[in-house]
Chains A and B, each alone.
Chain A
């Protein structure tokens, strides 16, 4: 009986994740506002599990790589560090400290991982079908323009989702969000270089 309930809860949450993923493409503002008030912990669980599957998948593609579980644990640490940083900063900056709650950060930042996951997954699939290096032929140039367009589009979507995640969780205005992100980058960029030196992430997964 309990297993049946868990299965139903899981499938319902999975459908909600699919629905909201499409919603974040079509109507990011409204959907992120709904996500910030969410209480179903299956949803971030599903997104984070999909990321684990992704790390397992690329383990077979990359050479001289750390075990997928190790990379995944380091990703979880990055992710938690990011959420905790913004949560405490929001607590410090907010006038009404009671309205700042940790689950809101967890839900919104989990959904903001979707563009990252899509970019990394599609790049690894392209690596199989169209392996680098790119050439200076017409097709090579055409693909390069397409790939840059695709990457910049996903980057723009990521920036929108991260902005909305901070906006609805930290409940701050544009300038404060800008300062918060600047503060975040001041430690995250050196931290990313540190991870790069240890060959953990060539591009930070966050």
Chain B
């Protein structure tokens, strides 16, 4: 029982190690929390489709420049 209490206490300390994020305005705080909830668990489910759409958009906007950018990035390591 004592070990369970200790583990619970340790878990509580871990969870409450930081204060909740308050952005000053309730509207902003609630939207921030809704948005970040998607990024806290398995963010790649949202990141990969979004970045793919962004890459396609960049290709249509930048055209040849995007191909040159990839060439530069491939030399960037």
* Interface of A toward B, CB cutoff 8 Å: 25-30, 33-34, 36-37, 58, 61-62, 120, 123-124, 126-127, 130-136, 140-141, 143-149, 151-153, 156-157, 160, 167-168, 171, 173-175, 202-203
In the complex, per-residue mask of B43-73: 1 if CB is within 8 Å of any chain A CB, else 0 = 1100110111011101100001011111101
Interface of A is mostly: helix
B70 contact from A34, A61, A124, A144, Cβ within 8 A: A144
Q: Which of A34, A141, A147, A175 contacts B74 (CB 8 A)?
A: A147
Residues of B within 8 A of A134 (CB): 67-68, 70-71, 74
| B2 CB within 8 Å of chain A | no
Which A residues touch B5, using CB under 8 A? none
A123 to B73, CA, bound (A): 8
Is B18 positioned at the interface, with any CB of A under 8 Å from its CB? Answer: yes
Known: A149-B55, A157-B44. A173 touches B19 (CB 8 A): yes
A29 touches B40 (CB 8 A): yes
- Can you give 24 A-B contacts (C-beta < 8 A)? A27-B42, A28-B40, A29-B41, A30-B40, A30-B41, A33-B15, A37-B14, A123-B73, A123-B74, A127-B77, A132-B70, A136-B67, A144-B59, A144-B67, A146-B55, A147-B74, A148-B55, A148-B69, A149-B52, A153-B51, A168-B17, A168-B18, A171-B17, A174-B23
How many angstroms from the CA of A28 to the CA of B54 in the assembled complex?
23
Q: Is A174 touching B76 in the complex (CB atoms < 8 A)?
A: no
Chain A residues within an 8 Å CB radius of B18: 167-168, 171
- A153 x B17 contact (CB < 8 A): no
